[in-house]
Structures are given as C-alpha cells and as structure tokens.
A and B are shown apart, each in its own frame.
Chain A
Amino acid sequence: MHLEIVTPDKKVFQGEVTEASFPGANGSFQVLKNHAPLVSALSKGAISYTTKDGRFNLVVDGGVVEVKDDHIIVLAEKVVG
C-alpha cells in the first residue's frame, strides 16, 4: 500500500507500507491491504506504520485520513514528532 502523510508545511512521509494504524475519532484502527474505501477523522494520537525498514511512529494533532484503492492519504494539521 502507498501511504502519504502531508501537513501544510511539508510532506512528512511518502512510501510503501504493509500496515498502518490511526487514532480514529471513535478509537484506534488499523488498515491493511485491500481495505474498503474509507474517510475518517483523526483525534490527537499516534500514527504507526510498518515499512520494510521497520515500524515507525508519528504523533499528530488531529486530521483526516482517506483510504482508497490501497492509497492512504493522511492530512494532518500538525505533526509533533
């Protein structure tokens, strides 16, 4: 799957991942390959994703995620670290 994390100031991450989990507004959830199309609001919390180099964590302050055709786009206003 292709994951993109963008903020208004820069593109934080772009690349292939095998798995990603998000802090949804209604609780955390995970996205795997061939997920159904989804738009979800995010609350403050950690996004984690697995690439071939390992597992990574990012903390975002709210935002929105769109999943479509194995493309995940995260729009975050602010990425903490």
Chain B
Amino acid sequence: MANLKEVKERITSVVSTQQITKAMKMVSAAKLRRAQDKIVQMRPYSQKLTAILNNVSAASEGDDDVVYAQKREVKNVLIVPVTSDKGLCGAFNSNIIKATVALIHNQLAGKHITILPLGKKAYEAFKKTDLPAVNQYYQIFADLTFDNVREAALHAMNGFTSGSYDQVFLVFNEFKNVATQFVVAEQFLPMQRLEAEGAEKVNEVEYLMEPSREYIIEELVPNALKIQFYKAVLESNASEHGARMTAMDKATENAGELLKELRLLYNRSRQAAITNEILEIVAGANALEGK
C-alpha cells in the first residue's frame, strides 16, 4: 500500500494544477472573445474595400497589370509561418511548423527559402535551422494592431516588387470554431484574383475618379493585400485562444480523473492503516491476557 503522506501530497499538487488549468481556460475564453471582436471589427473595412475595388475595376475591364499579380519564374520564396508566443495550446504550433517544413520539402523543394516568422514559437523553431530568416517582426503578438502587422506585410510586398522574393506563402491556423482550427498554406503573392465575397454585384455607377482610376487601383490593391495579411494573423490569434481553451479544458478533465483515482487510493490506504492498527492492538491485548 502506498504511503499515506505521499498520496496526500500528490493530491494537493494535482488540485493546484487543476486550479491553474481551470483559470487558464477561463482566461483563454476571455481572450478568445476579444480576438473574435477584432475580426468582427475588421470586417466592415475589408468588405467596403473589396466593394470599392470591385466597383472601380468594373468600370473598365481587363488590364490587370498590377505589380502584385505578376507571375515570375519562382526562385526565391518567402514563407510566413504564423504561430503564437506561448505554448500550452495543444498541437497548435507544432502543426504550423510541420506544415511549413512539409511545404519546404515538397512543393518548394530546391527553391531558395526565406522564413519570416510571426510569433515567438515560429521564431524559436526556425532559429535552429540554417534557413535565412527575417527576424524583426516575430513579436507582433505583444501588441497586435494593424499598424504593427502592416510593417511585416510591407516587408513581404516590397520584397516581392523589388524582386528579392518571387512568391510569398502564409502558413496559419484558420479559425473554424472554438474547437477546430485548420492549418492553411495560402499563396499571398503573386496575388490571386480578389474574391468578390460579400460585395454586391457590379452596380453600373459612373464614378468620378480622383486623381485617376489607375492611381486608385494602385492605392487600393496594396491595402487589400495588407488586409489579407492582417486577417490571417487575426485568424491565427483567435485560433490560438480556441486551441488553448480546448487543451486546458481537457487538462482540467484529466486532472479530475486523476484526483478521483488518487482519492480512492488515499482512502483505501487509510482504511488499511486503521485495520492494521486495530489488529495490532487486539494482538497486543491478547498477548497480555494470555500471560
């Protein structure tokens, strides 16, 4: 039978672990709500942006010679893996790292790869490899605003226009719901056709364009790209808290089960100890009587 004191100590330690995981789950739930709010707040901007862009580009057809859509022979590739700063969220981060490594070895085998990690976990994982990395942006989650994220997006976009990268990929967790995230490897540049999602179909309005249609498109397209980038980061942020919530919920549950077993063991050993004591006393009394 296990030592009573030992079991008691384990019970206290499991109880305090359970308290921590429970608290972390609660914190994640609150943070998840805030992360989802951010996505919701960005939505009007991105919808109106695509709507205006559609209106403007519908005004005349064709000429899609936007710099960001240029397809070149692919030699240099930038990959942007988006992870979190902290662990304890299940397979959230390792999925991203795995997907990135798979991308490098399969689809992009033989290309010259550069990594731009976002989130401390990605930074730490790719620091160990000998891949060249752009490391001045990985701390964006410390203060997640559009302003900070756009710096990283600009780095990728400027690298693309100046020719140092021919292709840019985003690898991030897409937020499906609290319990499910999907790892997505999305081509960021050259840009794909802008999806007209949510925008009403071409209403034939003659707009006055100030200063010119080309100028406006030139202004809007980079904006739309930055928004796409920001969206990926926000999705990943929401997924992180969702993943941590599920992980902590499971941990709390497991701690509960462990506690149940430990308490049973504790009571059993206590019972056994008492039985033992009675036996000893009775035996002692018997020995005295039979003197």
Contacts and interface: CB of A to CB of B under 8 A. Distances in A.
Interface of A: 6-11, 24-26, 29, 36-41, 62, 64, 66, 68, 73, 75, 77-78
Contacts of A41: 210-211, 215-216, 219
A75 B45 contact: yes
A14 B283 CA distance: 89
Contacts of A75: 45, 48-49, 52, 223
B146 A9 contact: yes
B70 to A, nearest CB: 22
B164 interface: no
A4 to B, nearest CB: 8
A37 B207 contact: yes
Contacts of A66: 48, 52, 55, 207
Nearest to B149: A8
Interface string B196-234: 000000000111111100011001100100110010000
Contacts of B226: 77
Interface in B43-75: 44-46, 48-49, 52, 55-56
Given A37-B205, A75-B45, A8 B210 contact: no
Nearest to A38: B208
A36 B210 contact: no
Interface residues of B, number: 30
A9 B208 contact: no
Interface of B: 38, 41-42, 44-46, 48-49, 52, 55-56, 145-147, 150, 205-211, 215-216, 219-220, 223, 226-227, 230
A40 B220 CA distance: 11
A40 B230 CA distance: 24
8 contacts: A9-B41, A11-B41, A25-B210, A26-B211, A39-B210, A39-B216, A41-B210, A78-B146
B206 A25 contact: no
A64 B52 contact: yes
Given A9-B38, A73-B52, A75-B48, 10 more contacts: A8-B41, A38-B209, A38-B210, A39-B55, A39-B208, A40-B211, A40-B216, A64-B216, A66-B52, A68-B205
A39 B209 contact: yes
Contacts of A78: 146-147
Contact of A8 (B56, B146, B209): B146
Contacts of B44: 6, 11
A25 B219 CA distance: 11
Nearest to A8: B146
A29 B44 CA distance: 25
B145 A39 contact: no
A9 B205 CA distance: 29
A8 to B, nearest CB: 4
B150 A10 contact: no
A8 B219 contact: no
A38 B55 CA distance: 11
A24 B227 CA distance: 22
A73 B50 CA distance: 13
B101 to A, nearest CB: 31
Contacts of A10: 41
Nearest to B234: A8
